[in-house]
Amino acid sequence: MSISPAQIASKAEKVTQIFNILSWVILITGGLAVAGGLLAGFLGLFGDNGLAALMAGLGVALGAAIYTALLWAWISLAVIVAGYISNRSA
């Protein structure tokens, strides 16, 4: 069973579209996590241990931003590879 180049290009284009959507979902979810961490840190300023809450909120926001950036980079690499396969087999 062999797959024609046109079928490969079609499937690679579908994969590219799916990963593009997934990258937006990752960016939006990561942005919400960063915003939530910052909001929790700033609201913690009004508590008993305000500075510790602020530092924890900033740490969570930084961790979420780094994780989001790394995950988005991997998904972007998958989009580039799928796009390359689609272009080469068309």
Tens digits of per-residue pLDDT, 39-78?
988 888 888 888 888 899 999 999 999 999 999 999 999 9
Tens digits of per-residue pLDDT, 9-20?
888 889 889 999
pTM here?
Answer: 0.79
Nearest Cα neighbor of 23 from 67, 62, 74, 66 is 74
Strands (E), the chain: none
**pLDDT bucket at 6, cuts 50 / 70 / 90:** confident
pLDDT of residue 37: 92
d(CA 68, CA 63): 8
